[in-house]
Amino acid sequence: MRKSSLFLAYLFSFMLAACGSATVALPEVSPVNKFAADSVFITIADGQDRRKPTEVLPFLGHEDSTYREAAALAFGSLQDSFAVPNLIQLLDDSHVPVARAAAYAIGQTRHISGATPLLAKLRSRPAPALAASLGAAIGKCGDSTHLAQLMGLYAGNASLDRALAGGLFQFALRKMATEKAAKLALKLVSSKDAEAQKLAAAFLARARNLAPFSDVDGQALIASYRALSNADVQQHLIRAFGRCTSAACSETLLAILEDEASDYRIRINAILAMQKQPKAEFLPAMQKLAVGENSHLAVSAVRYLYGQTSPADALDFLALSAKQAHWRPKAMLLGAGLKVYSGRKRDAAAFKKLVKQVHSRFLETQNIYEKGELLVALAEDAAQEDFLIAQMLKKEKVVSVFAMQALDQFYGATSTAQNASTRLKTLQTAIETGDVAIMALAAGRIRNTAALREAVRDTTFLKEALNRLDLPAEIEIYNAFEATLAAIRGETLPAPTPAPWGNPIDWEFVQQIPKDLHCIFLLKNGEIRLRLRVEDAPGSVANFVKLGLDGFYDGAALHRVVPNFVAQGGDPRGDGWGSGPQTIRSEWPNLHYNEGSVGLASAGKDTESCQWFISHCSTPHLDGRYTIFAEVVSGMELVHKLQIGDQIIQVTFPGFSVN
């Protein structure tokens, strides 16, 4: 069916409903999706899903521009460099959406052969929207020469600003940032283009191995920040203050941190910047936030304290913990105190009091996530090893995995040739529990600690555990064991084994999903409404909807909340190691992570399953790497308040049902 039949298909679906034979009740505001309206889109997307690039390739030359665009976007997920020559030809397509999709797909291949043609097209001064895609693609596949050539295009022309900033940002993600690039990014932060501002600020926030800002550049940074009104840009730019050593930068950070009227996300990023340049004058503000009502700010402030030893050692962590009402920063304060006081004779009494309080709270609380955080705190005390082992072997939901995480942390910091043999036996016992999370952590610790690797005399227990794994659901753990065995043999770590594929998209089901179908997460204090993007990620949406209709997500807890990053849930285990009944293919349309974007968690390409996350803010480093399948349309204020352990009571899809 061609796209010209969209209206007829839509009308026909309601005629069927009137006759009582329709399989789906469509919401009044949501028409049928493009896959129901035109089967050619299924052909293209199915080739992408089955990883058959040769079946998608012919559509790059189709007379219909919408098919050319769909095929080019499909190669953005396929990431097959053999199509680069064909995609290069499409950079001159008369339809800008096609050329943009081609540029995106070339960038996704990360193949250097595309960089020079991309630059040539950018030099022709194309439309700003196309230029932006070209710049980002150059940053994904170019080398240092291409970086220099890209920067050479700067002439204060706002129409190219987004292209330059996007390219610089992608080079930074590949650890190819230079001092000259940083200078240019400082200029681009003042661009008239808000997206260019954001990407330039993101470059400055994420660029690694660059020298600290000079006082002059620091003043420029401060001036740029004060001139901004866009919170997205401010959040990125404030993290760049971590490279600024001047007193003026420190004063600016402190002023932002103490401004209670400021967006909490900006204040959190100020804390992250302060971690790079810790100073005594920051401590009073951190201490105040650590016991404050905003748990996200409190968690971030406590993490700052974790990294300090002096004068943080003068703080009374027990008293601070007593003042904090929320369980997470409360437990973390105890852990921070144990880390600071550990091994100091003068603080021995305070250390013992903290350990006692951790055990007391562990016995009192019924919150499994609080128990877990308390166990992680005990990793700072060598005398707790037997207690942690006992908790790991109890096989209590979530708690046992946290106990293994604590052992992992403790063993990673303190294993030697003298104690390796004994600890290896503990790790073997952990692997024999059969719990996939505990197994993976134990295998990872053996792999990453030389003393433990060298203590392995017989790898039978690792091979037997590997052979018991259920694929594809446990592909992440399988790869962890293969990597451990290779490390023990002294071999180069193998490329991850691809997840076996046996779950093709159910296109009949996809065709029934209305375009822009909404989903509601019911919480105890309200609801979060999502708009699903079935036309951009059909396999991901179909999988999510099927799981939701089956009640898979009902009652599931959020297991991960990173302040000013993501809130993550959908794991049946509740600890981040769970999977659904099947894995699905990665789908990477040319979309961007912003506040409220909903993505699928993964352990690498084509390992997505059931876990989802909602972004608190703009996170451009995730673009093209994690599937975006929905976005929040209402309830974002609740998303910002979500905590680890909060339950999704029920997931519903208004106006949608399948007979």
**What's the start-to-end Cα distance of the chain, in Å?**
24
Residue 567, CA distances (Å) to 296, 306, 561, 580 in order: 11, 22, 4, 19
3-state secondary structure 169-187: HHHHHCCCCCHHHHHHHHH
Q: Which residues contact 537 (CB under 8 A, 6 or more apart)?
A: 587, 589, 627, 628, 629
Helices (H) and strands (E) in the chain, counts: 33, 8
Rounded mean pLDDT for each run of 10 residues along the chain, 659 residues in total: 36 36 43 95 97 97 98 97 97 97 98 98 95 98 98 91 98 97 96 95 94 91 92 94 93 96 96 92 95 97 86 86 98 95 86 97 97 97 97 96 98 96 98 96 97 96 94 85 95 79 91 96 97 98 98 98 98 94 94 98 92 97 98 98 98 91
Q: Is 632 helix (H, G, I), strand (E, B) or coil?
A: strand
Q: Is 382 helix (H, G, I), strand (E, B) or coil?
A: helix
Q: What pLDDT was estimated at residue 346? A: 81
Q: 476: closest CA among 522, 441, 425, 517?
A: 441
Instruction: Classify burial at 563, counting beta carbons within 10 Å of its beta carbon; exposed 0-12, middle 13-18, buried 19 or more.
Output: buried
Structure token digits, residue 467: 């052979």
Q: What pLDDT was estimated at residue 659? A: 65
Residue 54: enclosing H or E segment and its boundaries? Answer: helix 53-56
pTM score over 0.85: yes
Q: What pLDDT was estimated at residue 20? A: 38
What would the DSSP string read from start to end of 134-166? HHHHHHHH--HHHHHHHHTT-SS-HHHHHHHHH
Q: Which residues contact 62 (CB under 8 A, 6 or more apart)?
A: 68, 71
DSSP letter (8 states) at residue 514: P
d(CA 74, CA 104): 10
Q: 354: closest CA among 369, 335, 373?
A: 335
Q: What pLDDT was estimated at residue 475? A: 83
Residue 336, CA distances (Å) to 261, 274, 304, 342, 346 in order: 28, 17, 9, 10, 17
Neighbours of 276 (CB within 10 A): 14
